[in-house]
């Protein structure tokens, strides 16, 4: 299965020149713990980083800095891993595991933001797959009972 099929398409994003306070308010408004940071180029959003609620707490609040005077670009993680919407789910899991990343922006062939996939999304997908696998035995037993009668 392709990662684009399970990614969340409605991705909340901001620009790198957004204030940290505005980013925090955006997170609150949309009930999310992260924002993809994107540059808008030719009507496409190109991911350049990610900022999390933890980034805000550790890099701004804990240091007593003013979140209204800092920009998202000052604190975002810019060593960004992205995956293509056509990438395989299991290859994506491996990339995330290798980098220790819980959220990954999903892009199209042009590098434009198409969604985001989280470890929780992947756990839900895998649990559904495991559930289908578990049902094989019960279906096999029912089939054998019908075949013997």
Largest CA distance in the chain: 77
Give the total number of structural domains in the chain: 1
CATH, residue 21: 3.10.580.10
Q: What is the reported pLDDT for 66?
A: 97
pLDDT at 84 over 90: yes
Domain of residue 127 covers 3-148
Model-level pTM?
0.83
Q: Which of 43, 49, 48, 53 is nearest to 20 (CA)?
A: 53
74 pLDDT above the threshold of 90: yes
Flag whether pLDDT at 132 surpasses 70.
yes
Provide the pLDDT for residue 129.
79
């Amino acid at each position: 299965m392709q990662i684009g099929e399970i990614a969340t398409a409605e991705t909340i994003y901001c620009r790198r020149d957004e204030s940290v306070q505005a980013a925090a308010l955006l997170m609150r408004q949309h009930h999310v713990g992260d924002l993809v940071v994107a540059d808008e180029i030719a009507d496409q959003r190109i991911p350049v980083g990610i900022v999390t609620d933890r980034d805000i707490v550790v890099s701004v609040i804990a240091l007593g800095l003013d979140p209204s005077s800092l920009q998202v670009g000052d604190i975002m993680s810019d060593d960004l891993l992205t995956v293509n919407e056509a990438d395989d789910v299991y290859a994506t899991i491996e990339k995330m595991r290798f980098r220790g990343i819980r959220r990954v922006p999903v892009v199209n062939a042009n590098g434009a933001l198409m969604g985001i996939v989280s470890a929780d999304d992947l756990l839900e997908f895998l649990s559904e797959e495991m559930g289908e696998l578990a049902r094989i035995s019960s279906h096999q037993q029912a089939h054998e009972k019908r075949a013997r009668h």
